Amino acid sequence: MPSGDSDYGAIHRYEPPRESTAAAIAIVLLTVLEVVFVGMFTYGIATGWGLDPFGNMFLGGLLTLVFVNLSFILMLYRKEFLPDVMVVKKRRRKWEDLYVRQEDAEGQTTDVSVWDSIKRAVYPYYKR
């Protein structure tokens, strides 16, 4: 990893999308199929197919096909039309995860008075 580009939020790698024509055609065909499945499911709900056991299973299968088809559409779109970007993230130190301030990272000294401890317990933003 280059040391000069390790700033927080810096783009480390950017690869443009492929934007293939075959993927675009596949997405269009899958979208048409998605509209057909959603139309059949809506028609089945409106006409009461779910009232008998076979119709209920058929509607469940249609709903499954709707979501599986949608997942393939999204997978193709993500793979073929979104850029591959790697962003550098800065790793936090353990004391930052525990909500400890930087001046308290090494711990407190023993010369803290009891009265200051009581004030800090009552009002956490009390300055020393």
- Cα–Cα distance between 48 and 50 in angstroms, integer? 5
* pLDDT recorded at residue 1: 42
In this structure, the answer to whether residues 77 and 101 fall within a common structural domain is no
* pLDDT recorded at residue 12: 73
In this structure, the answer to whether residues 51 and 30 fall within a common structural domain is yes
In this structure, the answer to whether residues 70 and 107 fall within a common structural domain is no
Question: Structural domain tally of the chain?
Answer: 2
User: Where in the sequence is the domain holding 37, given as residue range(s)?
Assistant: 11-87
In this structure, the answer to whether residues 25 and 63 fall within a common structural domain is yes
Which position has the higher pLDDT, 3 or 81?
A: 81
* pLDDT recorded at residue 13: 75
Residues 6+ apart with CB under 8 A from 11: 85, 86, 87, 88
Token code pair at residue 77: 């779109």
What's this model's pTM, rounded to 2 decimal places? 0.59
In a domain, 2, yes or no: no
- Could you tell me which residues are beta bridge partners of residue 14? 85
In this structure, the answer to whether residues 32 and 75 fall within a common structural domain is yes
- Annotate 58-106 with DSSP letters as a single string: HHHHHHHHHHHHHHHHHHHHHHHHS-EEEE--PPPPHHHHTT--GGGTT
Backbone torsions φ then ψ of 84, nearest 5 degrees: -95, 110
In this structure, the answer to whether residues 45 and 75 fall within a common structural domain is yes
- Cα–Cα distance between 80 and 93 in angstroms, integer? 37
* pLDDT recorded at residue 120: 72
In a domain, 3, yes or no: no
In this structure, the answer to whether residues 16 and 38 fall within a common structural domain is yes
